[in-house]
Amino acid sequence: MIEINHASKWYGDFQVLDDCTTHVAKGEVVVVCGPSGSGKSTLIKCVNGLEAIGSGDINVDGLKVNGRKTNLNKLRSRIGMVFQSFELFPHMSVLDNVMLGQLKVLKRSSDEAQQRATLLLDQVGLSEHAGKYPAQLSGGQQQRVAIARGLAMDPIAMLFDEPTSALDPEMINDVLDVMVDLAQDGMTMMVVTHEMGFAQKVADRIVFMDEGKIVEDSPKDEFFKAQGSERAKEFLSKILTH
């Protein structure tokens, strides 16, 4: 579904991604972790072309993201993305946030879009908040709306960029629960997160990044038991002791 082949990227002289190669198969859940500044957010943003890679290839569903002829808008509409800072549209109601892409990109009728939005808001437990504005919701609620907004496009895969990092601790689980449900329903997911509990529960593979490189890419059990690289061990011991 998602194939990243030898992707590198520079900001001026600084190399943020260094020859990254990995993949996410259909229905697979891959968790990407690593210390801050390791390039994991950049990598996930390259998957739907929000950031451009400098060299290498990224393919999604057989389409080359960095290809000159690829219709990026169309490709993006088929990949849901959830951001660390939610990025709901503050001038629209929750319902309109979930409907906008359906109306303007998928050209669904407003009845159809509303039906779908209502169903998804129900699924993330927020149907009674449909008429509210994002500012009236807690962070956890906003993030669940953002997930519904992504799902409304009936995506073939979902990308999560540190979806719980900006949340108060008591709200993290509400969001993770929605993500676990999604994973168990067979959604293809690439998730940048430090939530190792989530990783242990639903991840198929763990990708560990450091200084722009993919240092480890192994099945979940292997990652948590063997802990191949010293750097990954050190990282894990740091985030798991607390």
What is the β-pairing status of strands 79-82 and 55-60? unpaired
Binding other proteins (rule: CB under 8 A), the pick from 32, 33, 46, 81 is 81
Binding other proteins (rule: CB under 8 A), the pick from 42, 48, 59, 188 is 48
Shorter beta-carbon distance to other proteins: residue 77 or 227: 77
DSSP 21-54: EEEE-TT-EEEEE-STTSSHHHHHHHHTTSS--S
91 counts as binding other proteins under rule CB under 8 A = yes
Shorter beta-carbon distance to other proteins: residue 134 or 212: 134
Binding other proteins (rule: CB under 8 A), the pick from 5, 21, 26, 89 is 89
Mark residues 140-169: x for contact with other proteins by CB under 8 A, - for none: ---------xx--x----------------
Complete edge-to-edge strand list for the sheet that includes strand 189-192:
79-82, 157-161, 189-192, 29-33, 205-210, 213-219
74 counts as binding other proteins under rule CB under 8 A = yes
d(CA 177, CA 101): 24
Binding other proteins (rule: CB under 8 A), the pick from 100, 119, 156, 236 is 100
Cβ(161)–Cβ(180) below 8 Å:
no
Shorter beta-carbon distance to other proteins: residue 98 or 214: 98
Least distance from other proteins to the Cβ atom of residue 82, Å: 9
Say which residue the tokens 């449909």 belong to: 130
**CB-based contacts of 239, cutoff 8 Å, min separation 6:** 194, 196
Which positions from 181 through 240 interact with other proteins, judged by CB under 8 A? none
Shorter beta-carbon distance to other proteins: residue 16 or 153: 153
63 counts as binding other proteins under rule CB under 8 A = no
Binding other proteins (rule: CB under 8 A), the pick from 9, 40, 76, 231 is 76
Shorter beta-carbon distance to other proteins: residue 152 or 179: 152
Residue 125 has which token pair?
Answer: 């437990």
d(CA 180, CA 122): 16
Shorter beta-carbon distance to other proteins: residue 182 or 214: 182
Count each helix (H run) and each strand (E run) in the chain, helices first: 9, 10
83 counts as binding other proteins under rule CB under 8 A = yes
Burial class (CB in 10 A: 0-12, 13-18, 19+), 100: middle
Q: Which stretch binds other proteins (CB under 8 A): 14-22, 104-112, 179-187, 205-213?
A: 104-112
d(CA 2, CA 25): 7
Q: Which amino acid, one-letter code, is at 108?
A: R
Residue 92 has which token pair?
Answer: 């629209």
Using CB under 8 A as the criterion, which residues of the chain lie in contact with other proteins when the complex forms?
Answer: 45, 48, 50, 73-81, 83, 85, 87-91, 100-101, 104-106, 149-150, 153
